[in-house]
A and B are shown apart, each in its own frame.
Chain A
């Protein structure tokens, strides 16, 4: 698809970058494990958008969609492991504050 008023790769690229930036900001600035995890999820949404935008811009949308679906599956697997780790952390430390997770250092 050519760039048009309805579809512009560069605009979508900027939006995707913005979303990734927001996710990164959440990871770096929040102290709560769940919020950090949400940051990771937000970041991966930005990547998904970028894949679809790239696919429709260069006319290989089917390939891009298959990439995206695989990406979503992986993301779900990571989310499962991440949430179970967060749960275990809460069980051991009794808190979700990342600053308390500092027993390992040196």
Chain B
């Protein structure tokens, strides 16, 4: 059983088993809950790094156990690595963050279920199981958003749920019609059936429906309304996971898999995706600029960054796809870091309103330093990793003669920079407000989580060539076929 072939199964069996055991375990020892969760994610991170390097050499596998078919290739293992790394760090952070919120064990159980859903989503081998895993992860995320049981979380979770229900209806409707037409929903079967039918109106309509459904999950601009409500209302570790990983697994990965592997990248749908991405980049930046809520501002920045990722992918050139996937990793690291910073500030001061804050630089050294790293990464300042991915996307857009996207990417970069400078200057720099004299730095596990993420941002930025070669390129090859 412990052979490499069955590695993929551990990715959803371990989190699910732990999620079931935790409520009982917490009666014995409260420490064990945290230690076990963090170590499970660390173990999975190591396993997915192994899988990533394995698939980097051109191996891809379909494993079957108890009738469950899992398909793992370089793209899936890239996403699995992202989920595991961010998951481990967020679990570490939540140890002390959830102390003041309560319900730590429930939080960890739900969090593990959400991650199990995401792990199995990236390993799904047919459209219906992709939908099932998507719904599993999404239901856990509704509960996690409303976790604090305050009015904002509940309102946001309800809105998210209604919009989600409409988007999943689009996905399942398109799946049902595909099932009627071709008698199968497996990616490989559909890919064969749809070969050479890329320009037919039916195919385009179904592809468009699936794109709209998944774009809801990815929060591209006309479908983004739920994100600025949902992500800020959740507890900080949850927002970090939602903004850093969930929208990418449920939205970006699903769009990439379905459009490239199943639909053979039809040009019309891709150009629609490019337009939506360019609009997302600009509108997300503009709307984010006027926010005064720390986390809400970050949520709008997520909308813009998803635009970059999908914009890169939608070019369907090798360089564009590499840029998009690389930006996915960078955004996962840096946006999680910024949400953890926002959580630390909220816990230390009791507010997220950036106008009520100021001068925290000397009071919260770790938080302010790591938030500078996170901001510079997202804004795309060398040597941090965000610079390289944005540069690659812009070069790819120019090469593909898509000057609108390139222009939007440059403008969006400036908007992101000014948005995050606003945060830096109002929250961390300036004169310390009288009300904040008593503020202290947050607990050690939270500091450690933020430091690890900041170091990762820097490492990926400095050794970007190594990362692109080992983990990004094989994944891009999967999409290019």
Interface residues of A (CB under 8 A from B): 9, 20, 23-24, 27, 33, 36, 40, 43-44, 47, 50-51, 53-55, 57-60, 64, 67, 70-71, 74, 77-78, 81-82, 85-86, 88-89, 92-93, 101, 103-104, 106
Contacts and interface: CB of A to CB of B under 8 A. Distances in A.
Interface in B154-182: 154-159, 161-162, 165-166, 169, 172-173, 176-177, 179-180
Contact of B149 (A64, A67, A78, A88): A88
A74 B162 contact: no
Give chain B's interface residue range (CB within 8 Å of chain A): 35 or more
B155 A103 contact: yes
A102 B107 CA distance: 27
A85 B149 CA distance: 10
A57 B151 CA distance: 47
B429 interface: no
A74 to B, nearest CB: 5
Nearest to A58: B183
Contacts of A78: 135, 139, 161, 165
Interface string B235-272: 00000000000000000000000000000000000000
B165 to A, nearest CB: 4
Contact of B180 (A33, A54, A82): A54
A70 B148 CA distance: 30
B146 interface: yes
B177 A27 contact: no
Contacts of A58: 179-180, 183
Contacts of B228: 106
B154 A85 contact: yes
A81 B151 contact: no
A102 B152 CA distance: 10
Interface in B162-215: 162, 165-166, 169, 172-173, 176-177, 179-180, 183, 185
Contacts of B233: 104
Contacts of A43: 165-166, 169
B155 A9 contact: no
B179 A64 contact: yes
Interface in B277-294: 290-291, 293
Nearest to B165: A40
Contacts of B441: none
B146 A88 contact: yes
B128 interface: yes
Nearest to A73: B132
Contacts of A53: 180
Nearest to A40: B165
Give the one of B143, B156, B173 with max A CB within 10 A.
B173
A24 B166 contact: yes
22 contacts: A43-B169, A44-B165, A50-B176, A51-B176, A51-B179, A54-B177, A54-B179, A59-B183, A60-B183, A78-B135, A78-B139, A82-B158, A85-B146, A85-B158, A85-B161, A86-B158, A88-B149, A88-B154, A92-B151, A103-B152, A106-B291, A106-B296
A78 B167 CA distance: 14
Contact of B159 (A60, A70, A101): A101
Contacts of B290: 106
A14 to B, nearest CB: 13
Given A27-B162, A104-B159, 18 more contacts: A20-B173, A24-B166, A43-B165, A43-B166, A47-B173, A54-B177, A70-B128, A78-B165, A81-B139, A81-B142, A86-B158, A89-B155, A101-B159, A103-B152, A104-B229, A106-B228, A106-B290, A106-B291
B128 A67 contact: yes
Contacts of B150: 92
Contacts of B172: 47, 71
A59 B183 CA distance: 8
A9 B169 CA distance: 19
Contacts of A82: 158, 161
B229 A92 contact: no
A89 B233 CA distance: 15
B158 A89 contact: yes
Contacts of A59: 183
Contacts of A101: 155, 158-159
A103 B179 CA distance: 42
Contacts of A27: 162, 165-166
B176 A47 contact: yes
Contact of A74 (B135, B151, B154, B161): B135
A81 B154 contact: no
